[in-house]
Structure 1
Amino acid sequence: MKVTFIGGAGTVTGSKTLIESKGVRILIDCGLFQGIKPLREMNWDPLPILPSTIDFVLLTHGHLDHCGWLPRLVHQGFKGKIYCTSPTKDITKLILLDSAKIQEEEAEKANKGKYSKHEIAEALYTVDQAEKVFPLFKVAKLNEPIPLDAEIEATFTTAGHILGACTIAVTLENKTLVFSGDVGRDDDVLMFAPTKPKKADYVFLESTYGNRLHPYSDTKLELEKYINNAIDEGGTVIIPSFAVERAQTIMFLLWQLKQENRIPNVPYIIDTPMGISALEIFRDNPTWHKLSPVECDKVSKMFLLVSDYKETNEIILDNRPKVVIAASGMITGGRVLSYLTHYIVIPETTIIMVGYQAEGTRGRKLLDGAEEIKIYGQYYPVKANIVEIGGLSAHGDQKDLLNWLSELENKPTKVFLVHGENQPADELRIKIQEKYGYVCKIPLIGQEFEL
């Protein structure tokens, strides 16, 4: 048996792990690389094996860095089955269509503005190519082993993080390989605590926040303070947000603050078509989260839900104070870019960062104090107030990740630390070895291991 780390190693994006056993090839996740240019350029590279030779894809969840390369995989010949939970299937469809549309639009803008280094800018994939993925989906039920081959089965258990997210245990050659996916928090606002694995011969554990503890500050109080300060100065608040789970979490917290009369009567806007569609998925899957159907409806009614781009432009040009939630969470694309081209140069604007910002993304650059930011080929001076609320991350922190390992009944042969930059992964490695005595390995992209 062999495992190859095609992506999601030494970085938090591009998750792809290949298992090969007795002629069967299984790909765990099929994510898009994001962030610094050398990583983004890897999205154009072919896989080290032909996609047509892969038998199965198992998706841990529907975030772009875990599912966003599927259209390329299918376009290049993959014809196998894609297993995931029902909410993940619905979310992945939204994510892929949105990603394809954004890529088509950005290629068109680059060609019109002539700011691409290529003679003709092309989209990584099109909406039509994204839609060709959908017939390959197969729904996995929680805690029910799925027979993939005569001696291979996969079992999905909840991971928290976002709606539908799972840890996947693959049993083959009398060994159990556990792929954590993205591990949620034990005390998340909306999602239930992740299910801890009981048995694993090999563990593939994410390490996004492997060197950090989430602040135990009052998240609602921070939101209240930043919003009131900005509105008092006549400014607008922009919250770049992942459209799935994070946007709904922020909406819920703002609704609570409004109910408690702690934030002012100004327009509250969610401008992400995908985030609005995700609200419907929340309503359709009440057993996956803590919100009741009644709360879902009440939260939605507080917000102006914007899908039409003409309405986006009207809102942007209306300089009255307001609070806007817009995707994407790391400011790599989406509607939030249109808001920033107008508002980032205004000192009264407050931009609240609420999630992990990968290396090389605009979000990371803003948090690192960038004095200017490039959007659509133009540079804009950063005059807005940039703040961060660390308590809103959907990823478990170092304590949560260590706790996730706490119910293993056997000592795994090895723990591979993936989906993390080098320093967080290394600090988590040290902590795991100190607490549990497990052998840990931090793989590099392209590395192969025989198990």
Structure 2
Amino acid sequence: MKIKFIGGAGTVTGSKTLIESNGLKILIDCGQFQGLKPLRELNWQPLPILPSAIDFVLLTHGHLDHCGWLPRLVNQGFEGKIYCTSPTKDVAKLILLDSAKIQEEEAIKANQEHYSKHEIAEPLYTVKQAEAVFPFFRVVKPKEEILLDAEIAAVFSNAGHIIGACSIELTLENKTLVFSGDIGRDNDILMYPPTKPKKADYIFLESTYGNRLHPNTNAKAELEMYINNTVQKGGTIIIPSFAVERAQTVMYLLWQLKEEGRIPNIPYIIDTPMGINTLDIFVNNRKWHKLPEHHYLGMCKMFSMISDYQETIDTIYDKHPKVVIAASGMITGGRVLSYLERYIGLPETTVIIIGYQAEGTRGRKLLEGAKEIKIYGKYYQVLANILEIEALSAHGDQKDLLNWLSALENKPKKVFLVHGENEALDELRIKITERYHFDCSVPLMGQEFDL
């Protein structure tokens, strides 16, 4: 059996792990690279294996860095099956369509305004190519064994993180391989705690927050303080948000604050069509989350939900204080860019960062104190107040990741640490070795192992 790391190794994006066994080829996740330009350029490169040779894709969840390369895979000849949970299928459809639409729009804009270095800017994939992925989806239920062939079985188990997210246990050649996917927090506001693996010969563990502990702070109280302080200055609050799970979590907290009379009666706006559509996924998959129906209905009534872009323009030019939740979460694209074009240069504005910001993204640059950011080929001075609420992260921290390993009844032969930046990977490796005495490896991009 061969394992090849063709994405998500030494970085938190582009997750792809290839398994070859008994003539079958299985890809765990098929993510898009984001952030630094050298990483983004990898999206245009061919895989080290022909897509037509891949038999199965197993998706841990529907975030772009785990499913966003599927349209390229299908367009280049993949004809197998894509297994995932029902919410993951719905989330992946939304995210792929949104991603394709943004790429098409940005290519048109780059060609019109001539800020691309290419003679003709092209999208990574089109809406039509994204839609071509959908017939390949096959829905699986958690804890049910799926036979990929007579000797290879897969079991999906809840991983928290976002709705539908799972870890995957793969049994083949008398070995058990466990792929963590992205692990949620043990005390998440909306998601249930991740299921811990009981047995594994080889573990592939994400390391996004492998070197960090989430602060023991009150996210709701922080939101209250930041909103009230900004409104007193007559400013607008912009919350760049991942459309799935994070946007709904922030909506829920803001609704609670409003019900308790702790934040003012100003417009509360969610301007992410995908985030709005994700609300339907929450309604249709109640077993996957902790949000009570009457709370859900209450928070939806509180928010103005914007889908039409003309409404976005009208909201941007409304000078009154307001709270706007808009995608994308790492400020790599989406409607949040239109808000920041107008508001990032106003000192009374507050931008609240609420999720992981990958290296090279605008969100990371703002957190690191950038004095200007580039949007659609133009530079904008950063005068807005940039704040972070770490307690709203949907990723488990170092403590959660270590805890996820605590129920193992056997000692795995090796733990591969993936989906993390170098410092996080190395520190988590040291912690796991110290606590559990497991053999830990940090694979490089493109590296192959025989198991």
TM-score (norm 2): 1.00
Name the residue aligned to 1:321.
321
Equivalent residue letter for 2:159:
A
CA distance in 1, matches of 2:426, 2:288: 32
Residue 417 of structure 1 and its aligned partner are, at CA, apart by: 0.3
Name the residue aligned to 1:227.
227
Equivalent residue letter for 2:439:
V
Name the residue aligned to 2:149.
149
Name the residue aligned to 2:35.
35
Residue 150 of structure 1 and its aligned partner are, at CA, apart by: 1.3
Q: State the Cα deviation string for residues 417-444 of structure 1 (Å, max 9, x = none).
A: 0000010010000000000000000001
CA distance in 1, matches of 2:135, 2:128: 13
Q: State the Cα deviation string for residues 389-422 of structure 1 (Å, max 9, x = none).
A: 0000000000000000000000000000000001
Name the residue aligned to 1:201.
201
Residue 292 of structure 1 and its aligned partner are, at CA, apart by: 1.5
Name the residue aligned to 1:252.
252
CA distance in 2, matches of 1:5, 1:226: 42
Equivalent residue letter for 2:86:
S
CA distance in 2, matches of 1:218, 1:263: 15
Q: 3-state DSSP class of the match of 1:33?
A: coil
Q: State the Cα deviation string for residues 157-191 of structure 1 (Å, max 9, x = none).
A: 00000000000000000000000000000000000
* Structure 1 gap ranges (5+): none
Residue 236 of structure 1 and its aligned partner are, at CA, apart by: 0.1
CA distance in 1, matches of 2:206, 2:307: 34
* Structure 2 gap ranges (5+): none
Q: 3-state DSSP class of the match of 2:43?
A: helix
Name the residue aligned to 2:57.
57
Q: 3-state DSSP class of the match of 2:19?
A: strand
Q: State the Cα deviation string for residues 215-269 of structure 1 (Å, max 9, x = none).
A: 0011111000000000000000000000000000000000000011000000000
Runs of 4+ more than 4 Å apart: none
Q: 3-state DSSP class of the match of 2:168?
A: strand
Q: State the Cα deviation string for residues 16-65 of structure 1 (Å, max 9, x = none).
A: 00000011000000000000000000000000000000000000000000
Residue 297 of structure 1 and its aligned partner are, at CA, apart by: 1.0
Name the residue aligned to 2:70.
70
Name the residue aligned to 1:107.
107
CA distance in 2, matches of 1:443, 1:194: 24
Name the residue aligned to 2:301.
301
User: Equivalent pairs: percent with the same residue?
Assistant: 75
Aligned length: 451
Name the residue aligned to 1:279.
279
Name the residue aligned to 1:429.
429
Q: 3-state DSSP class of the match of 2:122?
A: coil
Q: 3-state DSSP class of the match of 1:44?
A: coil
- What's the Cα RMSD here? 0.4
TM-score (norm 1): 1.00
Q: 3-state DSSP class of the match of 2:95?
A: helix
CA distance in 1, matches of 2:64, 2:344: 26
Q: 3-state DSSP class of the match of 1:347?
A: coil
1:137 matches 2:160: no
CA distance in 1, matches of 2:262, 2:35: 36
Q: State the Cα deviation string for residues 276-301 of structure 1 (Å, max 9, x = none).
A: 00001001111100012221111111
CA distance in 2, matches of 1:450, 1:392: 39
CA distance in 1, matches of 2:392, 2:425: 21
Name the residue aligned to 2:80.
80
Name the residue aligned to 1:237.
237
Alignment of 1:428-447 (within 5 A): 428-447=428-447
CA distance in 2, matches of 1:293, 1:82: 31
Residue 359 of structure 1 and its aligned partner are, at CA, apart by: 0.2
CA distance in 2, matches of 1:293, 1:281: 13
1:270 matches 2:267: no
